Structure 1
Amino acid sequence: MSEQDKDSKTEDPTEKRIRDALEKGQTATSREATLAVSLGVMLIWLLLFAEGSIGRFASDLAYVVDNAAGVPIGSAEDLRRLVWHVMPLIAALLLPLFLLLMSAGIIASAVQNAPRMVMQRIKPKWSSISPVKGWAKIFGKRGLIEFLKSLAKFLFAALLLSVLLRSRLIELPSYLNLDVMRALSGTGQTAQMLVAYLFIFMLIVGVVDFAVSKTMWKADLRMTKQEVKEEHKQAEGDPLVKSRIRAVARARARSRMMAVVPDATLVVANPTHFAVALRYDTEKDAAPRVVAKGTDEVALRIRRVAEEAGVPVFEDVPLARSLYRVAPLDGLIPAEFYRAVAALIRSIQNTGSTHVAN
């Protein structure tokens, strides 16, 4: 991506943009934070369980060594039996630590980002094996950051080992004169100190790295103003399309409305601007019901359909305007119009006319 493209991305990512990135497996993660958690688990194991586990392993191994004279190794089968005897001892020592480290890695990753199944990540991609893409990753901005982090970790570990082991080098020869358990105890203390310092350092690096990764991740998801508009259109619908849908809906509603005008009892209108069609069914309704109403062109269509069907049309400007504004479509007329409309209905009954002009 060019610098010009990056500069145009001035808008914060929308919730949909973030959700799509997470569904594609594009998350902000820190390997240093995971490593820090693993070192913390290893430190706990060294402090609480290592002495007992190593002690049991040393005792079991010492028994094998002390009874070496009774262990035949004259053939490959004898050697295989010896290995099968020693391997469970090694597994009993290392398996709990391995399980703890594996659990720590899973938990650290889950805390940073909720686990999710992302099938797209396992699909073959040319960019994964492309030399050009590979060089871009190595020598790009992210590659430089990863290199500096690795270099900082290596330099600190080297410095820590040199300082820590320098004070312990004098004590190492004295371990040769101690029994196995005391020598292992001294070595364990050195390991605890080393892992503790590494844990503190990596914890600081992991927190900072996760914050930086989160910031860079959001920066990569930033959007241009046009992208925000396009996404809004997709979410809410194109205004032109929505306008067209509303127009079609109104046209269909008018068609349905015009279809019931021939069944109306009467139409109240002013000369051109308003028209309200009423139907009064004494068996179904307590008062006349508005079956159609409209203004201007729609009002003229109501009048024309009514006249063609022989429905009486009364020209009453105040009544037509008031009914149009107050009476709801497909609803009964309000009580204040009962007397005026009743007079029109009586007029129809008295004259038997199909069209009455007032």
Structure 2
Amino acid sequence: MYISLDLQYFAQEKTEKATPKKRKESRQKGQVAKSTDVNTAFILLFVFLSFWFFGRFSVEQLFSIAQFTFQEYMLIDLTENNVQSMFIEYSFQAALVVAPFMFIAMIAGVFSNYLQVGILFAPEAIKMKLEKLDPIKGAKRIFSIRALVEFLKSMLKITLVGIVTFSIIWIFLDDILKLSLYSIGEGVRLIGNLTVIMGLAVAILLIFLSVFDYLYQKYDHEKNIKMSKQDVKDEYKKTEGDPLIKSKIKEKQRQMAMSRMMAEVPKADVVITNPTHYAVALKYDGNQMDAPIIVAKGVDFIALKVINIAKNNDVITVENRPLARALYSQAEIGDAVPEDLFKAVAEVLAYVYRIQKKL
């Protein structure tokens, strides 16, 4: 009893790699190896690079908005129509400033997801599932090993990001302390450059860390989709069919094919034998066939069965050991007699026709 329980335990233990079918089903459910850190890192990198290249344009737009506000709207009366036109104008100007960076962030997010999982459409992943609201399962997720790993990862990222940003501030500390001596334009330019440098440095750091996070997510995903030996067997049965049922189907098919073959023996013109180990039944109709056709063949038990059916139905049997063996090995049921055996078969058929005339 203990041995059977142990065997059952090992059969259910998930030790096997996921099969292609299991991987496909997991992917359809949205269960893929994916790191959110990769998305965050790429978005930060692309956005701060866009700040580097298009920051001057954004600053000029902001200054033009401020200038326009103080020169135009500060001098007009506030009415309902004026407020509405101001809102529309400011919304349009804000969109001009923000839209390029939002578009670049969207492209970065799509690109980072494509790098990780390719093209994936999994509507089941966003389907409402009440089991996700289970407080017990939620508590298990909060206090799980995975949650602890995520917490340690977050603390490590916060620490490293803090070190990087502090290092950059320390390098530019003299310029920061002189900030009050600069003009407004120069001060904004310094703060902007410093922000972009810190953003790019943090983005590069996060890309480096996200590589390890992605490898961990891939390892964790492979571990989660592992299958037990029983799972593999069950999947094989579902896809290929139960081996026992398949063997029964094949046996039934063999029996049906055998029955059809035996039904053709009484229609044969001659059965060439070995005399007991081989038997080949031939049929020839000069009006419809170019050459004699093999309608049945067999060895040992099947050969004896073919011979008995032939005798019971007055089909002539001829013993010719070399010819019986050659026909059995060189042709299948329904095939015409091979050309190199035409002469030998013609002699046998001529002999059979002479006997039939005498009868």
TM-score (norm 1): 0.84
Cα separation, partners in 2 of 1:89 and 1:328, compared to 1, 3 Å: closer
Paired AA for residue 133 in structure 2:
I
Give 1:295's match in structure 2, choosing from 294, 299, 304: 299
- Give the conservation status (yes or no) of the 8 Å contact 1:8–1:224: yes
Report what 2:224 is aligned to: 220
SS in 2 for 1:104: helix
Q: Is the contact made by 1:61 and 1:86 (CA closer than 8 Å) also made in structure 2? A: no
Q: Structure 2: how far apart are the matches of 1:326 and 1:82? A: 95
| CA-to-aligned-CA distance 1:7-27 (integer Å, 9 cap, x gap) | 933322222222221121111
Tell me if structure 2 keeps the 8 A contact 1:51–1:188: no
Residue 107 (structure 2) pairs with residue 103 (structure 1): yes
Change (3 A) 1:6 1:144: farther
Q: Which residue is equivalent to 1:275?
A: 279
Offset, 1:107: 1.2
- Counterpart CA distance in 2 for 1:5 and 1:99 is 52
Residue deviations 1:77-106 (CA, integer Å, cap 9, x gap): 544443333332222211211111122111
Query: How is 1:171-210 mapped onto 2 (pairs within 5 angstroms)?
Result: 175=179, 178-210=182-214
How many angstroms does 1:217 deviate by? 1.1
- The alpha-carbon distance between structure 1 residues 64 and 177, as it changes in their structure 2 partners (threshold 3 A), is farther
Q: Which residue does 2:260 correspond to in 1?
A: 256
Checking the alignment, whether the CA contact within 8 Å between 2:331 and 2:337 is kept in structure 1 is: yes
Aligned with 2:154: secondary structure? Answer: helix
Q: What is residue 60 of structure 2 aligned with on the other side?
A: 55
Residue of structure 2 in register with 1:115 after alignment: 119
The alpha-carbon deviation at position 48 of structure 1 amounts to 0.9
After superposition, the Cα gap between the structure-2 partners of 1:119 and 1:222, relative to the gap in structure 1 and judged at 3 Å, is same
Per the normalisation by structure 2, the TM-score is 0.84
What secondary structure, in the 3-state scheme, does the structure 1 residue paired with 2:16 have? Answer: coil
Q: Deviations over 1:154-207 (max 9, x none)?
A: 333444455555676776676556543222212112211221221122111111
Report what 2:91 is aligned to: 87
Q: 2:129 aligns with which of 125, 131, 142?
A: 125
Give the letter aligned to residue 218 of structure 2: K
Superposition deviation, residue 51 in structure 1: 1.6
SS of corresponding position for 2:304: helix
Cα 1:296/1:80, change in 2 over 3 Å: same
Task: Give 1:42's aligned residue.
Answer: 47
When the two structures are aligned, how many residues end up with a matched partner?
A: 351
Q: Distance in 1 between matches of 2:139 and 2:130?
A: 14
RMSD between superposed Cα atoms in Å: 3.1
Aligned partners of 1:269 and 1:316 also within 8 Å? yes
Q: Which runs of 5+ in 1 are unaligned?
A: none
Distance change (3 Å), C-alpha of 1:340 and 1:53: closer
Alpha-carbon separation, structure 2, partners of 1:234 and 1:109: 33
Q: Distance in 2 between matches of 1:98 and 1:263?
A: 83
Code of the residue aligned with 2:40 in structure 1: it is L
Distance 2:352 2:19 in 1: 64
State the SS of the aligned residue for 1:267: strand
Unpaired runs of at least 5, structure 2: 1-8
> Who is 1:324 aligned against?
328
Amino acid at match of 1:101: A
Q: Which amino acid aligns with 1:91?
A: A
Task: Give the match for residue 13 of structure 1.
Answer: 18
* Structure 1 segments (4+ residues) deviating >6 Å: 4-7, 166-170
Within 2, Cα distance between the matches of 1:317 and 1:28? 67
